[in-house]
Chains A and B, each alone.
Chain A
Amino acid sequence: MKKWAMGLLGLLLIVPILAVGSLGWRLLQHEQKSRESLTRTVMQAQAEMLAQKLGGIAQRLERQTLAELAALPAKDRLKQLEALAASRPLYRQAFFHQPGRGLLLPSAGGPLTRDARDFLQRFEPFFSGRQPWEKAPQEREGRTYESDSLLEGCLPWFDQNQLHLLCWRRDPESQALFGVELELMCLLSEWAPCFANQPQGNFTAVLRDGEDQPIFQMGPSLQTEAADSASAPLGPGFPHWRVDVLSDGRPAGVRNLRIFYGLLLGSLLAALFSGEALLLWQARRHYLDAQRKTLFVSNVSHELKTPLTTIRMYAEMLEEGRVPEEGQRARYLHVIGEECRRLTRLVNNVLDFSRIEQHRRTYRPSRVDVAELARSLADQQELRCREKGVRLVREIPGEPVWRLTDRDALEQALLNLLDNALKYGGGEVRVRVSRGPGEAAVEVLDRGPGIPAGRREKIFEKFYRDDDTLTTAIAGSGLGLTIARGLLRDQGGDVRYLPREGGGSCFQIHLKENT
């Protein structure tokens, strides 16, 4: 697959992911908006409900008061009214005004109490006639319950910014005007239980008076300014009084929903992205694998073909008797033998590779003198080195270096390393055997171009060749190092690469200590 095709695939996958993401986000916004508007509706409903409840209590008390005023007998009204005001907590001050005789209650006939004095001062506009008791229905701020008769009513009155409630009644016969001022504190105390429970939701409900002062509050205290609020007026008896329902931010429900949806969307996008990444990675891996296998097949074919061509050519010449000279014939036969061994090595490598890959390679460990093995291998390769013009230097101790390992496997691994060194190694190849415990057992050093830092582990991957062009001058399957490492690691050892001082490579064979 080409790179541009993969880019296109990535793009094709990202576009729907982004589309899903933005759609999800918009849905979330919409959901949040509708939740918020629902919350506001609930807040408004709560404010109105509370205002209605408070108004209802006030109205019930006013009605009771008017009923009590109406029930006073005409004969002994003044005395009874006074007694009533003295016994009812809701009544602050009673008054009785008789046309012609003036105000009889709170009256002269004794010094006025301070409360009575204040009362007269408060409602002076009414008693002096400057303020009419009854207004046309459309002008009324308070409530009148028999609207047509104009016989009774409750009126709110502001004095020094304080609200006062007066319930009054006029006797149709004597025209006497009497009534009581309601004790606002008592009314408020009747309201208190409405604020002793927590409101539903995470709201704060506050009753505010005409001066915006809080009277009662329920729900969590607001540390900062309310983010959202709803408000409902208390009704005509309480001008400018209102119930506020506040929330300190987005309501909890909406907040949680947003977090939930956000997480959902986030994990969906993460899943899609990681799926795409996995897909692309897999595709790239398969692509690279396929490429290496193709290269491997062509490499192996090339590797097989080269010795075969030589063998065939020399064999035909010998067959046809076209080589008269004895020395020449012997040399040709030697070449044929060499090429056959090369073929065997190659086929062995391929076979070993597949066995190692499938973990079917069996090992027979025995005590092996590594020095002796290295020496004999060097001897075997001496001729090949000379032919290639490479100087083979031995640094092998005279006494034996014993290790417990599979001799064939070690031999093949070392051979692969020597092979590599001969292929890439420049003018000198050195074989060094060291004997100390924990040290590398065998090192193969060359003066080749070396391996750049980024690829020092890659060279051990299967089919990898540092120069993987088919036109490269050096033949190879890309399996030599992979097999060497596989063989040694299977037995607890390893092959490592180190750059050689002064240029070139150093491959170290580590073998497990045997005691």
Chain B
Amino acid sequence: MKRIAKTGAWMLAIWMGLAGALAWGSVEVNKVTCRVELDREVFPADTPHRAVVKVTLDAPPPPKYAEQRPPINLSIVLDRSGSMSGGKLENAKRAAIEALRRLGPRDYFALVVYDDQVQTLIPAQPAAKTEWMESQIHALHTGGGTALFGGVSQGAAEVRKHLDSGLINRIILLSDGQANVGPSQPSDLGRMGVALSKEGIAVTTVGVGAGYNEDLMTQLAQRSDGNTYFVENDADLPRIFAAELGDVLSVVAQKVLLTIECPEGARPVRIIGRDGLLRDNTVQIQLNQLYGGQEKFALIEVEVPAGRERDRREIAQARVEYDSVFSKQREAVTAEVYARFSHSEVEVSASGNKKVQMDVVGQQAAESKEQALELLEQGRREEAVNRLKDDRQRLSSYAAENALPAASLREAEELETDASSVQRGISSSERKDMKTKSYQRRNQQLNQ
């Protein structure tokens, strides 16, 4: 009897423990986690060294039930300039309807169209009575020029109508041409992207065909932390919109601010592959949104002062602040990383973190491509080719030195191929592909 009671008590304890762990887990499951790693754990002692700090944010999976996810505040901005006539506009309409149908009655939907002027076809409103909205979309026809800036501005104005309601704000911009009314420099639209990201509005850009300005579209997406797509075949538009909306529907954190501080004499030198603020020993990176289950990371090159044998020193502290869609509050999580120092070369080389090193290669390759394209834009073809070749050399030897898997080596070798295509002159479509892919790589975009 005593034994039975004892067993019962044990089982009860185990059950309670399990339940407690599950409950604890369920709380933890809805939080963003932060990991900080170095490209190697052990550094040569007594010499200053350059290290790469990788801060990884792991987003929790999206809410399981539709009513748990935060409402979406979506504004689709469609180009209806003359060049969109025919299949392009028809597919864009289908894509917009596809997006609209994925929304629920709690979400807001707006549709702005532009040619040389801007028109709000559907003002921001709950996506409840969709028949009227769909008929509006069906009735769309093509017009004249391309007032892209005005279109985005008006799309933003529609999103702003419901900005304070704890929604996921998103503009999807579709264009197939060069902006010719209003500000049309890529940097202008980039600045617009910065301003919008400060308001918590991300702009996803979808470029169709070979005629649009990919610099402008990627800048706008990049600076507002949205996605970017290059759609060569307009029949893919509905699929792209659906994928993009899948992303938006799974947003779990917004207004993400990543702060990395380097204590004990380490000093950040540059941020690889991302824009951010770098001052003294602090780096600040802003991300607009994190999607459920997504892993986003930032790489920071850090100067590590000389350390003595067997020293253990803190290299970086990371702090992530974000608006959680689960708790509807601003949450924060911290993590830090330490390095050790050793005279043993074997220990040093064995401590390499392959995953971080592979990311370094990938991000630097993407960066290299974008810089080469920029040089090419300025007519400095030779420099662009040399940049790609030099970086190929550097990254290949980095990959070889650290005995990285073949994938990294291939990524580095790809730069050689790019160099030869830049040398012979790349087509507009190749350029778009290169630009979009390198941005997607740098931004760790889910859908590509």
Contacts and interface: CB of A to CB of B under 8 A. Distances in A.
A188 B182 contact: yes
Interface string B393-436: 00000000000000000000000000000000000000000000
Interface string B269-291: 11000010111100000000000
B118 A111 contact: no
24 contacts: A86-B198, A89-B198, A90-B195, A109-B280, A110-B278, A183-B195, A185-B188, A186-B191, A186-B195, A188-B183, A189-B192, A192-B154, A192-B157, A196-B120, A196-B154, A196-B157, A214-B181, A215-B149, A215-B183, A216-B182, A218-B117, A218-B118, A221-B116, A221-B144
Contact of A92 (B120, B182, B191): B191
A107 B136 CA distance: 52
Interface of A: 86-90, 92, 107, 109-111, 113, 183-186, 188-189, 191-193, 195-196, 214-219, 221
- Most B Cβ at <10 Å: residue of A109, A183, A214: A214
A166 to B, nearest CB: 15
A189 B209 CA distance: 27
B153 interface: yes
B157 A214 contact: no
B199 interface: yes
- Most A Cβ at <10 Å: residue of B118, B150, B156, B199: B150
A359 B370 CA distance: 106
A111 B196 contact: no
A189 B116 contact: no
B216 interface: no
Interface in B139-172: 143-145, 147, 149-150, 152-154, 156-157
A188 B185 CA distance: 14
Contacts of B188: 185
B194 interface: yes
B182 A189 contact: no
B83 interface: no
Contacts of B116: 217, 221
Contacts of B192: 185-186, 189
B153 to A, nearest CB: 3
A386 B94 CA distance: 106
A221 B180 CA distance: 13
Given A216-B150, A221-B145, A88 B198 contact: yes
A193 B157 contact: yes
Contacts of B194: 89, 92, 183
Contact of A192 (B115, B153, B195, B269): B153
A189 B118 CA distance: 12
B195 A189 contact: yes
Main DSSP-derived SS at the A contact region = mixed
**Chain B residues touching A, range:** 35 or more
B182 A214 contact: yes
Interface of B: 115-120, 143-145, 147, 149-150, 152-154, 156-157, 181-183, 188-189, 191-192, 194-196, 198-199, 269-270, 275, 277-280
B157 A195 contact: no
B118 A195 contact: yes
A68 to B, nearest CB: 14
A189 B144 CA distance: 21
Contact of B195 (A185, A191, A217): A185
Given A183-B191, A218-B117, A189 B198 contact: no
A215 B182 contact: yes
B278 A111 contact: yes
B181 A216 contact: yes
Nearest to A88: B198
- Most B Cβ at <10 Å: residue of A107, A110, A219: A110
B222 to A, nearest CB: 13
Instruction: State the 3 A-B residue pairs at the shortest beta-carbon distance, nearest first.
Output: A192-B153, A189-B153, A89-B195
A162 B100 CA distance: 39
A189 B157 contact: yes
Contacts of A214: 181-182
A195 B196 contact: no
A299 to B, nearest CB: 81
Contacts of A186: 191-192, 195
B117 A188 contact: no
Contacts of B182: 188, 214-216
Contacts of A92: 191, 194
A193 B155 CA distance: 9
Nearest to A221: B144
A45 to B, nearest CB: 21
B153 A221 contact: no
A264 B189 CA distance: 56
A216 B143 CA distance: 16
Contact of A221 (B117, B195, B198): B117
B371 to A, nearest CB: 12
